[in-house]
Amino acid sequence: MIKVKNLGKEFTTPQGKLTALQNISFTVVEGEVFGIMGPSGAGKSTLVRCLNYLERPTTGTIQVAGRDLATLNPRELARVRQQMGMIFQHFNLLKLRTVAQNIAFPLEIARWPREKIKDRVEELLNIVGLTDKAQAYPHQLSGGQKQRVGIARALACRPRLLLSDEATSALDTETTQSILGLLQHINRNLGVTIVIISHELAVIKQMAHRVAVLSEGQLVEMGTAAQVFTRPHAAATKRLLTTDTLAPPVRSQPLSLEPALAVGEVI
Ligand SMILES: Nc1ncnc2c1ncn2[C@@H]1O[C@H](COP(=O)(O)OP(=O)(O)OP(=O)(O)O)[C@@H](O)[C@H]1O
Ligand SMILES: [Mg+2]
């Protein structure tokens, strides 16, 4: 679904060139949850921003569904981006728009007809369990509710892929669990492939089928979650695992979905 080959990214700063990513190659397979972890500054956000060309790679290629993003014109790129929803740590909601209007926003940009937007927004509110908050404004919501709006907005155009950059890092443990439950539901029941980035190992451990470890802009390890967490090879991974001992333990019981999510909605 996504093929990254020899990706490199340099930034020009007042202090000179900064290499944020170097020679990164990996593939994200349709249907999986692919986790990217690594310490602060390792290049995780830069990598995820390259995946949808919010950031242009300096070297290397990114193919999405067989198409090299570098060869697309702006219109084609916009269309591919609609296939890739993105959620953020700080939600990035529009303050002056209601929940329903926030969710409608990408559909307006994609020029959906008004009636279809209304139906789709209702469907999305139901998926994320916020039907009763449709007319609320972002400042009237809790952090978890704001992230649910962010997720609904990211799913609006029926993307095949969801990019999640530290989506739960601003949330408490319980709210994190409910958001991770929602993301698992979206992956399993709606068939959306997810790339999840987190510096919280517990989140990656709980969510990801396969894991890549970034350290100082390089991909130092990749494997199944079981391999990476129980038999890490790279020194950077070992460091990450040992310095994370203060983090709360991963919950062993299955995630509970909220009632609104238990039905198998179709996106
Ligand atoms: N627009 C930019 N201009 C210059 N340097 C940048 C830019 N964006 C990121 N960087 C640098 O690239 C490196 C990687 O940053 P990035 O935000 O990708 O790290 P990260 O792994 O997401 O960290 P965190 O866990 O703190 O979010 C850092 O050294 C950062 O300062
Ligand atoms: Mg980041």
Q: Tell me if 11 CB under 6 Å of ligand 1.
A: yes
- Strand duo 33-37 + 16-28: pairing: unpaired
Q: Tell me if 42 CB under 6 Å of ligand 1.
A: yes
Render each residue's pLDDT in the chain as its tens digit; 267 residues. 999 999 999 999 999 999 999 999 999 999 999 999 998 899 999 999 999 999 999 999 999 989 999 999 999 999 899 899 999 988 899 999 999 999 999 999 999 999 999 999 999 999 999 999 999 999 999 999 999 999 999 999 999 999 999 999 989 999 999 999 999 999 999 999 999 999 889 999 999 999 999 999 999 999 999 999 999 999 999 999 988 644 544 444 444 443 333 333 334
Nearest to 81 by CA among 108, 50, 46, 52: 52
- Looking from the CA of residue 39, the nearest atom of ligand 1 is 25
pTM: 0.89
Q: What is the pLDDT of residue 86?
A: 94
Q: φ and ψ at 49, to 5 degrees?
A: -70, -25
Helix axes 114-128 and 99-109, enclosed angle (nearest 10) = 130
- Strand duo 59-64 + 2-13: pairing: antiparallel
Contact 155, 192 (CB under 8 A): yes
Nearest to 203 by CA among 237, 232, 169, 236: 169
Q: What is the pLDDT of residue 260?
A: 35
- Looking from the CA of residue 13, the nearest atom of ligand 1 is 4
- The alpha carbon of 41 and the centre of ligand 1 are apart by a number of angstroms equal to 5
Specify the DSSP class assigned to residue 123: H
- How far is residue 137's CA from residue 114's CA, in Å, rounded to a whole number? 21
Q: Tell me if 9 CB under 6 Å of ligand 1.
A: no
Query: Going from the N-terminus, what domains does the chain have, and what CATH number goes with each?
Result: 2-83+160-262 (3.40.50.300), 90-158 (no CATH)
Q: What is the pLDDT of residue 199?
A: 87
Q: What is the pLDDT of residue 253?
A: 43
Q: What is the pLDDT of residue 251?
A: 44
- Looking from the CA of residue 49, the nearest atom of ligand 1 is 18
